[in-house]
Amino acid sequence: MCLSKTNYLNMQKFLFALLLVTASQIGYAQDELLSLVDKDETTKPERVTNAFKSSRVINGHSMEFLGKGVLDFRILHRFGDVSTGISNLFGLDQASMRIGLDYGLLNNLTIGFGRSNVGKELDGFIKFCPVWQTTGPGSFPFSIVLVSGVTLTTQPWADTTRKNYFSSRMAFYNELILGRKFSERFSLQLSPVFVHRNLVEQASEENDVYALGIGARFKLTKRIAFVADYHYIAKGLDKDIYKDPLSVGFDIETGGHVFQLHFSNATGMNEKAFITNTTGDWGKGEVRFGFNLSRVFTVARSRR
């Protein structure tokens, strides 16, 4: 069958129009696919950061973590009781301290080691975050953090005539932290803690101690924040002798490190020490001025 010249031209016009429509439909479909990809990327849940400025509130762990490959050199310092008065320069004549190193194995996994002169104790811990607080569609409202640690007392035995065991020097703790950053200014966390001591001083004392920690941060300026750290002793200690540890202070960020000034009725600076051995009474002015210094170093850069 032969086409006339007129029909041939009409056929060419039809095919050209069909080609344009097909090309436009393909382009539209590609744009739709790209928009879906972009939409998925922009709506992906984002992790909430900087709930606290340090991996510690004051005494206790915070919900915050070091980055992968980041080393945190920490110095925790406590002076004596302010209530001792001018003869002791309101406690400044005495000093207790802990030196520690924390390291981020992963963004959600940190290990740490320290030594305190109070009780000549060594301590170590591992800290893991299985769930982050996130924002956006499919987000989670708070962070869940797990901490497990051990302490070892190295001071000489008070009674060397009896049979002493190495295991008697040890204590253990496990902690669950539930924390949320409510706004750029305010963060709050709850942390149930269980402490087990292999050896206690008196037969009437319990080996197991249960406590509930509360940590809070309120940002005052770009570089200064008010922080509070309290642990309610629920079971395991004589409350006539031992008191709930309470600390309040200020975080001051100065470039590469965080400097913290605070007051606390606790002398010890690890979980076993400040939860089970705090005897200072805020109502009697038995508090100590102190400071925490944190300096971080990036020792291993993560590869993307």
Residue-level pLDDT, tens digit, the chain, 304 residues: 444 555 545 545 544 454 444 444 444 445 554 555 554 555 788 889 889 988 999 999 999 999 899 999 999 999 888 877 787 787 787 888 999 999 999 999 999 999 999 889 999 999 999 999 999 888 899 999 999 999 999 988 877 778 888 888 999 999 999 999 999 999 999 999 999 999 888 777 899 999 999 999 999 998 899 999 999 999 999 888 999 999 999 999 877 678 899 999 999 899 999 999 999 999 888 899 999 998 888 887 655 4
Cα separation values, 133 from 26, 45, 229, 295, Å = 41, 9, 21, 25
Q: What CA–CA distance (Å, rounded) separates 75 from 259?
A: 10
Q: Answer yes or no: are the C-beta atoms of 152 and 188 closer than 8 Å.
A: no
Q: Residue 198 CB: number of other CB atoms within 10 A? A: 13
Give the type of residue at 248: V
Task: Mark 47-70 as b/e (b = at least 16 C-beta within 10 Å).
Answer: ebeebbbbbbbbbbbbbbbbebbb
99: tokens are: 């030196």
- Domains for the chain: give ranges and CATH numbers: 46-298 (2.40.160.40)
**What is the structure's pLDDT at 297?**
87
**What is the structure's pLDDT at 298?**
86
Give the type of residue at 284: K
**What is the structure's pLDDT at 29?**
47
**What is the structure's pLDDT at 156?**
85
Rg, the chain, Cα only: 30
